Chain A
């Protein structure tokens, strides 16, 4: 009883259906698409990759053709269409504000209500004879399949996690194998995130390094650059081999590796060097802690737990390092 009430409350308003509201699309993946994807990885024009939401007709679909839903983020849309070579299909692009499927599902913009609205407004039910819509599995955090069914009559079929598995999924008669259902975080998945991390933190740390250099603090300029590289590129690459489960702990070790790599280039006595370790290790720890957001396996509860311990520890450690530096200057 209570549940049916909830359903009525959440039901979006019916809106008039535009006639023939779809656009053509192709499965061709051109150089310009590749370039846009590469630029997005470096944070260039990343938030201007929203495509027009709505219904797209891929290779002249008919009433019996399958329907796939995706986000209105160009790389998501491209990943879908390029893996549908030789397939006629309807592509329903939800308005996720130009954000990829998984992130949008986490926020709920790739979600039950947007999917329902989109099915209604595009008049999809009049274009196809079946009532099935294939969603990327990573859209599931935002979607309640049973609610979509209740609102629209369409059954949600969760496809594979990776668009690359779609041909095999179709061959198996819309079945995803257990392997297709698993999200991975292998070397390639991790290292592809490094440019974005490097660009984001480099924005602050490279000017800082330059400033140190011109102030004559050559060792600090070097340490800043090495810490940046260790925490944004080395840490993702070595993530499984860095000790501990906590990202803050892994980050501290990455920071130590960075300092070790810089060591032959440094001109510092034991005490000033110790002070630098106390400063740059927590900095690396903090940066790698932010990488939890890029990882595919950390939970909010876990992140909260480690932040409660890590942030105070990082602050105390860095403050001690600063005091040591100041003490060293005053002593002289």
Chain B
């Protein structure tokens, strides 16, 4: 049974005009969100996106934008308490 998270929340955006069809996004995405068709990238299913930012960071022409982050409730709470962005604090001896 495939696990799917909430619908319609991902901030992933692809500017097809900027895309040069290099295929890096297809390669780095751990959820197969992208495909390559007619020498351009296309978003197959943005609901599968976990906003890890691998695609945007590896796009050589900045055709992909998203609000990168870690989908972790503990990180959101930590960030809220410290008044910072969500921070998983890994390495401070706390979580993942």
Task: Write the residues of chain A forming the contact surface with B, with a CB cutoff of 8 angstroms.
Answer: 47, 97-100, 103-107, 137-138, 140-146, 158, 161, 176, 178, 181-183, 185, 200, 239-241, 245-247, 289-290, 292-307
Give the distance in Å from the alpha carbon of A302 to the alpha carbon of B8 in the complex: 9
Cβ distance A186 to chain B, nearest Cβ, rounded Å: 9
The answer to whether B6 and A300 have CB atoms under 8 Å apart is no
CB of B73 closer than 8 Å to a CB of A = yes
Cβ distance A73 to chain B, nearest Cβ, rounded Å: 10
The answer to whether A292 and B3 have CB atoms under 8 Å apart is no
Which residue of chain A has its CB nearest to the CB of B54? A140
Residues of chain B from 6 to 47 with CB closer than 8 A to chain A in the complex: 6-7, 9-11, 24, 27-32
Give the distance in Å from the alpha carbon of A300 to the alpha carbon of B72 in the complex: 7
With contacts A185-B3, A299-B9 taken as known, whether A293 is within 8 angstroms of B30 at the C-beta atoms is no
Chain B residues lying within 8 Å of A240, measured Cβ to Cβ, are 1-3
Chain A residues lying within 8 Å of B28, measured Cβ to Cβ, are 137, 140, 158
The answer to whether A299 and B5 have CB atoms under 8 Å apart is yes
Give the distance in Å from the alpha carbon of A247 to the alpha carbon of B3 in the complex: 11
The answer to whether A245 and B71 have CB atoms under 8 Å apart is no
The answer to whether B57 and A142 have CB atoms under 8 Å apart is yes
Give the distance in Å from the alpha carbon of A138 to the alpha carbon of B27 in the complex: 11
Contact of B7 among A106, A182, A245 (CB under 8 A): A245
Contact of A144 among B4, B10, B57, B86 (CB under 8 A): B57
Q: How large is the interface on B (under 10, 10 to 19, 20 to 34, 35 or more residues)?
A: 35 or more
Chain B interface mostly: loop
The answer to whether B3 and A141 have CB atoms under 8 Å apart is no
The answer to whether B73 and A297 have CB atoms under 8 Å apart is no
Chain A residues lying within 8 Å of B10, measured Cβ to Cβ, are 299, 301-302
Give the distance in Å from the alpha carbon of A100 to the alpha carbon of B95 in the complex: 12
Contact of A293 among B4, B27, B54, B73 (CB under 8 A): B73
With contacts A137-B30, A144-B58, A303-B71 taken as known, whether A107 is within 8 angstroms of B90 at the C-beta atoms is yes
With contacts A140-B54, A292-B73, A293-B72 taken as known, whether A300 is within 8 angstroms of B86 at the C-beta atoms is yes
Given contacts A293-B96, A300-B67, could you give 16 more A-B pairs where the C-beta distance is less than 8 Å? Answer: A103-B90, A105-B52, A140-B54, A140-B58, A141-B68, A144-B57, A145-B24, A181-B30, A185-B3, A290-B74, A292-B72, A293-B70, A297-B5, A299-B9, A302-B10, A306-B6
CB of B83 closer than 8 Å to a CB of A = no
The answer to whether A297 and B31 have CB atoms under 8 Å apart is yes
The answer to whether A293 and B75 have CB atoms under 8 Å apart is yes
